[in-house]
Copies of this chain bind each other. A is one copy, B any other.
Amino acid sequence: MHSCFHPSLQIGVQSLSEDEAVHVSRVLRMKAGDDVRLINGMGSSAVGQLLEVGKRKASVSVESLDIHEAERPKGLMLVVAPTKSNDRFEWLLEKATELGVESIWPVWTSRSERRIDKHERWEKVLVAATKQSQRLWKPSLQKAVELSVFLGHAEALGQGHGAVAHCIPEMQGLPERVDWKQWQIDKGQAWLAIGPEGDFTLDEVGQMVAVGAQPVHLGEHRLRTETAGMAAVAQFVT
């Protein structure tokens, strides 16, 4: 059954967004009386009946909600510098959603070359991937902020577990990197920061270490930003 995204889902008559109404009416050619599934991306779902189906609007009657707290995705927060190529960043958003990530925190770093927060477009990628993978929880997407702003919140996040992946060879007194796959094993929640093309600066790694982050590596080879992000999510154990 097709799932429609409806962020404010509740019991009663629900109006679909224009995107969803167009999909239901023109792509799926559904009619009044057909059953349709609604999800709110925060663990609630419902099977409702289409009441009206127009070209650009549709409504659904919802009589009960199912709450799926247990399916909440594993508690990894990905703190990531958007790549120069928006395509590559959107790939990461899609794959991280399919594989199960709790939230995405885009951050600007000193080597970030592209500083455009495409929040609404990125949100659409997350919604599409959530529906495609039949998940009930959509990762939450934060507004893009300077790394220093994120660091102001960092100690309260991930139950105090944070990590920073980088490839700087000379650590100049900062802690050595450990293997992410090993480090994450006993962490129920954690945040992981992934740098931009050109990596974090030593100073930025130092700032993250100062708020308690563990430097980590994702293997011996250089990975692109989006590859590092996806691999880290795939390797994070619930």
Point out residues on A near B: beta carbons under 8 Å: 71, 91, 95, 98-100, 132-135, 181, 219-224, 227, 230-231, 234-235, 237
Copies of this chain, complex-wide, total 2
Q: Do A219 and B134 have beta carbons less than 8 Å apart? A: no
Interface contact B98-A133, CB-CB below 8 Å: no
Cβ-defined contact, B98 with A221, below 8 A: yes
**Given known A230-B230, A231-B234, A235-B235, contact A98–B224 (CB-CB < 8 A):** yes
Q: How long is the Cα–Cα vector from A91 to B99 in the complex, in angstroms? A: 16
Interface pair A234/B230, CB less than 8 Å apart: yes
Please measure, in the bound complex, the distance between the C-alpha atom of A237 and the C-alpha atom of B219, giving whole angstroms.
10
- Which 4 residue pairs of A and B lie closest in terms of their CB atoms, listed nearest first? A231-B234, A234-B234, A98-B227, A133-B221
CA distance A234 to B134 in the complex (A): 22
What are 29 A-B contacts defined by CB distance under 8 Å?
A: A71-B220, A91-B91, A95-B227, A95-B230, A98-B221, A98-B223, A98-B224, A98-B227, A99-B219, A99-B223, A99-B227, A99-B231, A100-B219, A132-B222, A132-B224, A133-B221, A133-B222, A133-B223, A133-B224, A134-B221, A134-B222, A135-B221, A181-B237, A230-B230, A230-B231, A230-B234, A234-B234, A234-B235, A235-B235
**A99, B219: Cα distance in complex, Å:** 8
Query: Closest CB of chain B to A165's CB: distance in Å?
Result: 13
Which chain B residues lie closer than 8 Å to A132 at the CB level? 222, 224
Q: Closest Cβ of chain B: how far from A94's Cβ, in Å?
A: 8
